[in-house]
Amino acid sequence: MSAILAVHALEKTFGSLVAARDISVAVPPLQTVGIIGANGAGKTTFVNMITGHLRPSKGTICFEDRDITGLPSREITRLGIARSFQMPQIFPSLTVFENMCAATAIAHACGGLLAQLLTPLYSPATMAQAEAALDLFRIASYHSAVAATLPQGVRKLLDIAMAVAGSPRLLLLDEPTSGISIEEKFDLMDVVMSALKNRGITVLFVEHDMDIVERYADRVLAFYDGTVIADGSPVETLENPRIQELISGPKLKISALTAKHA
Amino acid sequence: MAARSIVIGTLAWLLVAAAAPALPQWLVSLATVAFANALVVLGLVILWRAGLVPFGQALYYAIGAYTVALIGRYSEIRDVFLMIAAAAVLSGLTAFLTGLLLARYREIFFAMLSLAMSMILYGVLVKTETLGSTDGFHVEQPTYLGYAPQGNMHLLVLFWLVLACGALSALLVSFYFRSVAGSLAVPVRDSEIRLEFLGVSVNRLIHLNLVIAGTLAGIGGALAAFAVEHVDPDMSYWTTSGGFVFVTILAGAGSVAAAFVGSFVFELLKSIAYDLLPGTWQMFLGAALLVTILFLPEGIGSLFVRLQRRPEAKAMGAKMGAKSTSALS
């Protein structure tokens, strides 16, 4: 098995709008890949297609040499691909601990509806594992806080912690630092990356902040107009004049973009 | 706390069962219907927790009721357990079939589609001579494993049966609420996307909830038919469904016991209202619901919770108020 994720000639159209075209990428296991590009370049469409949220119009997606093109997201999740969201998808009426327990228990009862019927939600094993996950992601101090009241950074961490509860082998993070203040971005990424370390997870993350990409990515995919225009190490990609012109550009432009997202 | 509420529930249940022979007949009769209907409400509580309010639950209620009525009319079978089992299976099966469609809808679309389905049955019942048409027909008295109670005993035995069915359902539902599938109701309301991306099929989960709620409604309908000794198409009419939603709001989704207390309070209010204001009893009930929503937004069930955690009562009340405002906005 050379690549954990192999995408070939992927295309997505919405009527006459081409959201993604001719995307071919192979990601070897354990690589951390940063995905950059301006708004509307097709980054999230790419993530949505891999995780089954959108069905590709053309092309194939293989995960661990298995064709997963067009499978529903819950089946893709069960195969070992998890994701976090730009807008954290947590359960706002539950506490942080209850959120984590729900995610952990679902991972335990992966056999489907019957297993979910017969497994109690708050079993000792589930609770211990949930506590450990909250510790790992440094959000244990919010244990009993209702999720609706959490600051954005904690929401982001909880969202990622819940995605990782099922022990995925591939994790896609959609803008993990959007809506987070500049000072906190690195702390957040440090927590995430150290939590994911040694767990054998291949990570793809969408990011607007080039400093973050440079620091955490082994490889960078640059998206423009629905396709990948550059693919290489962070240094060579970010120094590519075309990338600077089209994406990373003058620093000011990027921070304005990020601010717009917040 | 869970153990404590089971103990309290069991004691209350035993007390009611033991007191029944000493109670006036009208009260036992009223409680029988109330607790039979409480099974329907229990099913609605399951759905409500997931954010679904069906305005057609009377469909399964009527199917349960007509099942036992028709068995009594067209066959020799009189055993109450067989008849109720048949009602449960038929209503559960109906809920499974309607669920194939209903499980894909949410909110008002779900509510209206379920209403439409119940009105189809209403139309069929009204137009079919062999099913008694608009008048309905008489329900034969059942036997209990060969025992045929006489006179007043009949009412008492039926009451005990309703109590037993209620206790069993309440127990099973509270086990269900503790399972992964049962406790995902609030997450379904909060974020279906997160659930799908954790590997859960939300539609199948809702389908399961629909079948459970439909089966409970069928059993409730069967028991109510025995209690009233008559079935008619009104049992499937949308105002009957609306009545169940009314009781669900009155009871609240907080606890399993609330469904029974809420249903009893509703029947009691209704019969008092009939007595005092024969012409305008609906107004009385409407006012009662208004007062409940204003002062007990989480229903009668929230009273138990407040009593159980009296020290925190103030904080809880504030939280509940805040929650209900956010739900409204």
Within 10 A of A3 (CB to CB), how many other CB atoms are there? 17
**Per-residue pLDDT tens over the stretch B257-296:** 888 888 998 888 888 888 888 878 788 888 888 888 888 7
Query: Cβ B194–A162 below 8 Å, yes or no?
Result: yes
Query: Cβ B198–A122 below 8 Å, yes or no?
Result: no
Report pLDDT for B61.
95
Within 10 A of A254 (CB to CB), how many other CB atoms are there? 18
- What class does CATH assign to A1-80+168-262? alpha beta
Whole-angstrom distance, CA of residue B104 vs CA of residue B304: 34
Largest CA distance in chain A: 58
Structure letter (DSSP) for residue A77: H
Domain ranges of chain B: 2-256
Q: How many CA atoms lie within 13 A of B316 on its CB side?
A: 16
Burial of B11: CB neighbours in 10 Å, binned 0-12, 13-18, 19+: exposed
Please give the share of chain A, as a percent, with pLDDT higher than 70: 93
Helix (H, G, I), strand (E, B) or coil at B55: coil
Give the C-alpha distances (Å, rounded to integers) separating B216 from A147, A166, A186, B111: 33, 34, 53, 18
Residues A230, A232, A236: CA angle, nearest 5 degrees: 90
Please say whether the beta carbons of A185 and A209 come within 8 A: yes
Structure letter (DSSP) for residue A246: I
Pairing between strand A32-36 and A202-206?
Answer: parallel
Report CA torsion sign: B5, B9, B15, B16.
positive
Contacts of B178 in chain A (CB under 8 A): 120-122
Closest Cα in chain B to A108 = B180
Q: Tell me if chain B has a CB within 8 Å of the CB of A94.
A: yes
**Per-residue pLDDT tens over the stretch B161-216:** 999 999 999 989 988 988 888 888 888 888 888 888 888 888 889 999 999 999 99
**Per-residue pLDDT tens over the stretch A174-216:** 888 888 888 888 888 888 888 888 788 999 999 888 888 888 8
Helix (H, G, I), strand (E, B) or coil at B53: coil
Of B184, B197, B199, the CB nearest to A102: B184
Please report the ipTM that was assigned to this predicted complex: 0.82
Report pLDDT for B314.
46
Whether residue A72 is predicted with pLDDT greater than 50 in this model: the reply is yes
Query: Cβ B198–A73 below 8 Å, yes or no?
Result: no
User: Which pair of structure tokens corresponds to residue A21?
Assistant: 């075209």
Burial of A147: CB neighbours in 10 Å, binned 0-12, 13-18, 19+: buried
| Residue B76 CA from chain centroid, whole number | 29
Report pLDDT for A204.
92
Selected residue of A78, A87, A121, A149 to mutate for chain B interface (largest B Cβ count, 10 A)? A121
Closest Cα in chain B to A101 = B180
Query: Cβ B178–A122 below 8 Å, yes or no?
Result: yes
Helix (H, G, I), strand (E, B) or coil at A261: helix
Please say whether the beta carbons of A62 and A71 come within 8 A: no
Q: For chain B, which residues score pLDDT lower than 70?
A: 1-2, 305-329
Please say whether the beta carbons of A19 and A45 come within 8 A: yes
Q: Which of A152, A160, A153, A154 is nearest to A140 (CA)?
A: A154
**Per-residue pLDDT tens over the stretch A76-95:** 988 889 999 888 899 998 99
Whole-angstrom distance, CA of residue B269 vs CA of residue A30: 66
Selected residue of B46, B177, B198, B325 to mutate for chain A interface (largest A Cβ count, 10 A)? B198
Encoded amino acid at B19, one letter: A
What is the average pLDDT score of chain A? 84
Whole-angstrom distance, CA of residue A6 vs CA of residue A27: 6
Please say whether the beta carbons of A159 and A190 come within 8 A: no
Domain ranges of chain A: 1-80+168-262, 89-166
Helix (H, G, I), strand (E, B) or coil at A226: coil
Report pLDDT for B11.
87
Alpha helix stretches (DSSP H) within B106-236: 107-127, 152-178, 180-183, 185-190, 192-196, 202-228
Query: Cβ A105–B197 below 8 Å, yes or no?
Result: no
Q: What is the CATH number of domain B2-256?
A: 1.10.3470
What b-and-e string marks burial along A79-112, b requiring 16 or more CB atoms within 10 Å of the CB? bbbbbbbbebbbbbbbbbbbbbbbbbbbbbbeee
Report pLDDT for A241.
77
